[in-house]
Structure 1
Amino acid sequence: MTEPASLVVNDQSVAPGRVVAVCRSASHSFSKPVVDEIVLVAGLGVDGDAHNGRTVQHLSRVRQDPTAPNLRQVHLVHRELLDELSLQGYAVPSGAMGENLTTEGIALLDLPTGTVLRIGSDAVVRITGLRNPCAQLNQLGAGLMKRLVFPGPDGELVRLAGVMAVVDRGGPVRAGDRIEVSLPAGPASPLRPV
């Protein structure tokens, strides 16, 4: 697995990407089925998804502090990661890692905290951090967790399992929708696990 490239935000222009698949599940199952459309709801997440809410909804986070704000309303994974995993012998289709959106054309892991993604005609999400994956990933293939979380050259853990976001403006999202990227002003704050 390749590590994300270092942040470069001096050039505030990032090429647009697109949505490849949208996924949702009303249960706390690990994977989410692909659907034709999801509806993002401002301040809550994906309508009808188990992780929708103002406060944390991920079961492990609820046990820690059920009043904490939900910084994990929407989970995004880039298709390029799924392609790389396929080359390594892992069959990981869209939604298998529990993501709500599979994207392409945007290096999600290279974006700074606070990056805004305008999706389709209405929806706007703001990236809050990295997904901190768990060993359930190994249900998709032996050793997958070690491909997605491993020590980097500096000893800090590298996490490749996507990014988390909150919904700033709601709206429908479908496969094929354009994603426009707006980097935050000021110094770049690298993504950290949320």
Structure 2
Amino acid sequence: MGIVKAVCISEKKGTQKQNVESAKFIVNHGIENDAHAGNWHRQVSLLSLEKINEFNAKGANVFNGAFGENLVIEGIDFKTLPIGTKFKCNDVELELSQIGKECHTKCQIYHKMGECIMPIEGVFAIVIQGGEIKVNDEIHIVR
């Protein structure tokens, strides 16, 4: 089980996301009003709070959403899970569709730190069942 620590969206691609505290998740689309939503395999991005904290311990000083992640979750190491893993949070059901990503253009974090954790630690999911997720909700791995 994990705990949702941030729910982040951005209006434009290529920008850092802002924590909006809660959001509506739409089947086969993603998060309402998020620039990365759409009918594709990377509708929602997830990142572990522990990985963000480890990166900040190196002097990064980044905030939730800075890597472009939609959900910051405490208590789950996403990159250890296989593609197809399902997550349930309230009525929302997500399915892991991609682990990591290729970073074609280096972000501000990469230029500052010489690395970025999203391409390695971040994962992506599709929305199987819609609903609302808010900060402090529990998210469960469905086996």
Identify whether the pair has TM-score above 0.5, normalized to the shorter chain: yes
State the AA in 1 paired with 2:28.
Answer: G
Give the CA deviation at 1:140. 2.2
Provide the C-alpha distance between the structure 1 equivalents of 2:10 and 2:83, rounded to a whole number of angstroms: 26
Deviations 1:104-160 (A, max 9, x none): 1011110111000001x21110001113142433x02535453538xxxxxxxxx52
Q: How does 1:1-194 map to 2 (within 5 A)?
A: 16-54=1-39, 70-119=40-89, 121-134=90-103, 135-137=105-107, 139-140=108-109, 142=111, 144=113, 146=115, 148=117, 159-183=119-143
CA displacement at 1:32 relative to structure 2:
0.5
Bigger Rg, which one? 1
Percent identity over the alignment is: 32
Distance 2:12 2:25 in 1: 17
Structure 1 length-normalised TM: 0.68
Number of residue-to-residue matches in the alignment: 142
What SS is found at the alignment partner of 1:142?
helix
Using the size of structure 2 for normalisation, the TM-score is 0.91
List structure 1 runs of 4+ shifted beyond 6 angstroms. Answer: none
For structure 2, the residue ranges without an aligned partner over 5 or more in a row are none
**Contact 1:75–1:131 (Cα < 8 Å) also in 2:** no
What is the letter of the counterpart of residue 29 of structure 1? G
> What value does the CA root-mean-square deviation take over the aligned residues?
1.7
Rate the CA distance shift 1:142–1:76 in 2: closer, same or farther, 3 A: same
